[in-house]
């Protein structure tokens, strides 16, 4: 019996390989309304570990779905490993990158998106002010050494005339209540992904290797789904844009959950090209995009020549793309303080789960 392979590409929040995959599988079991899902066994495909699911549909049919994770979090850079003077430089480049007018064009005519971006930018500015305050205090206490004597002496002279900034560091307690470090980490690594060819090619390789093995190293699958969440949507789109003709017979589906592809396309010409290639990808059977306005970490797809079906909040382009708006019940305060939790609600929506399993 032929089986389906799902390649799951997690977002930035994935910390350990398998953690997000197990959560997705739990949600598939809990929130679907079309049958019973059981985990039959762990599975392995040429070194790629995953979970094998047996789905008993309500119509009496059964299907085996093997789901693998294209884990990439180990390839991202951790900002806290940098030296203080590096944090000042890299922090400034991050702040400058996202302060571009291109970034703000997403909020044009959309109050909620404008508010989201304003709050995010304020948190990013606050994050950078803390970096500067820490750096200045270290220089004043002579605990920092950049490696250049002339620079150390110049910095020392500058900070000798500055006030004590310890009170600023006392405000760092705000990072316990607001997703400041999360916003900063996402901003820095996303900037790297968009700007650095070596970075986005290395991450794309993870998706390619698993999908390639599923297609070319085995004859077990007749259907392949690439399921991506958050920043994983942009990563998977990079792979989908370059799919080869030999993949066409597998009825490849592309499902994005809470992706920020549209937002990233506004900031990056490279990502805009990737999206256009996805829309014209003749070897892609279907692209389903789910988003929610209550999710501050995603953006709806902005498409040229789009057709809207207002009642269903559906956007369709060509014959294989559908963008679906979901509704998450949450207050404005919850959207601010629990943004990462809301961002993970997609696989707890029955419509989404049913579509993944169909």
Residue 177, pLDDT score: 67
pLDDT in tens, 2-51: 688 899 999 888 878 888 899 999 999 999 999 999 998 777 766 777 88
Residue 232, pLDDT score: 92
Residue 286, pLDDT score: 87
Residue 130, pLDDT score: 81
Nearest-angstrom CA–CA distance, 312 and 39? 33
3-state SS, the chain, equals CCEEEEEEECCCCCCCCCHHHHHHHHHHHHHCCCEEEEEEEEEEECCEEEEEEEEEECCCCEEEEEEEECCCHHHCCCHHHCCHHHHHHHHHHHHHHHCCHHHHHHHCCCHHHHHHHHHHHHHHHHHHHHHHHHHHHHHHCCCCCCCCHHHHHHHHHHHHCCCCCHHHHHHHHHHHCCCHHHHHHHHHHHHHHHHCHHHHHHHHHHHHHHHHHHHHCCCCEEEEEEEEECHHHHHHHHHHHCCCHHHHHHCCEEEEECCCHHHHHHHCHHHHHHHHHHHCCCCCCEEEEEEECCCCCCCCCCCCCCEEEHHHCEEEECCCEEEEEECCCCCHHHHHHCHHHHCCHHHHCHHHHHHHHC
pLDDT per residue of the chain (358 residues) written in tens, 0 to 9: 668 889 999 988 887 888 889 999 999 999 999 999 999 877 776 677 788 899 999 999 999 899 999 988 888 887 778 887 788 888 888 889 888 887 777 666 666 667 777 888 888 888 888 887 777 777 666 655 666 777 777 766 666 666 555 666 666 666 666 677 778 888 888 999 999 899 899 988 888 888 888 777 667 788 889 999 999 999 999 999 888 776 767 778 999 999 988 888 888 899 999 988 888 887 788 899 999 988 878 887 754 434 443 334 444 444 578 888 898 888 877 777 777 788 899 999 999 999 999 8
Residue 316, pLDDT score: 43
Residue 172, pLDDT score: 66
Residue 123, pLDDT score: 83
Alpha-carbon distances, residue 91 vs 126, 187, 238, 342 (angstroms): 11, 10, 26, 27
Residue 233, pLDDT score: 93
pLDDT in tens, 103-132: 777 666 666 667 777 888 888 888 888 887
Q: How do beta strands 62-69 and 48-57 pair?
A: antiparallel
Q: The pTM is what?
A: 0.84
């Amino acid at each position: 019996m032929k089986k389906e392979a799902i390649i799951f590409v997690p977002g930035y929040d994935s910390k350990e390989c398998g953690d997000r995959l197990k959560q997705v599988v739990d949600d598939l079991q809990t929130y679907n309304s079309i049958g019973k899902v059981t985990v039959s066994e762990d599975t392995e495909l040429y070194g790629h570990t995953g979970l094998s699911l047996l789905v008993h549909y309500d119509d009496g049919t059964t299907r085996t779905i093997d789901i693998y994770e294209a884990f990439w979090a180990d390839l991202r850079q951790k900002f806290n490993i940098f030296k203080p003077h590096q944090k000042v430089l890299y922090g400034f480049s991050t702040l400058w990158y996202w302060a571009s007018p291109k970034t703000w064009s997403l909020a044009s005519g959309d109050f909620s998106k404008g508010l989201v971006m304003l709050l995010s930018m304020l948190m990013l500015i606050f994050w950078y002010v803390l970096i500067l305050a820490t750096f200045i205090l270290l220089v004043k206490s002579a605990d920092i050494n950049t490696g250049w004597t002339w620079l150390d002496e110049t910095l020392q002279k500058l900070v000798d005339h500055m006030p004590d900034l310890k009170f600023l560091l006392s405000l760092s307690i705000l990072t316990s209540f607001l997703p400041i470090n999360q916003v900063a980490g996402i901003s820095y690594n996303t900037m790297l992904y968009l700007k650095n060819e070596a970075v986005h090619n290395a991450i794309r390789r993870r998706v390619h290797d698993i999908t390639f093995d599923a297609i070319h190293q085995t004859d077990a699958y007749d259907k392949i789904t690439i399921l991506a969440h958050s920043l994983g949507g942009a990563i998977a789109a990079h792979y989908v844009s370059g799919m080869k003709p030999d993949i066409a017979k597998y009825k490849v589906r592309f499902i994005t959950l809470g992706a920020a592809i549209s937002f990233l396309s506004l900031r990056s010409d490279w990502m805009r090209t990737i999206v256009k290639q996805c829309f014209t990808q003749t070897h892609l059977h279907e692209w389903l995009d789910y988003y929610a306005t209550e999710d501050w970490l995603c953006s709806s797809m902005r498409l040229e020549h789009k057709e809207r079906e207002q009642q269903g909040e559906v956007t369709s382009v060509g014959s294989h793309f559908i963008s679906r708006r979901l509704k998450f019940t949450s207050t404005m305060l919850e959207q601010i303080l629990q943004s990462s939790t809301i961002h993970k609600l997609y696989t707890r929506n029955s419509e989404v789960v049913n579509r993944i399993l169909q």
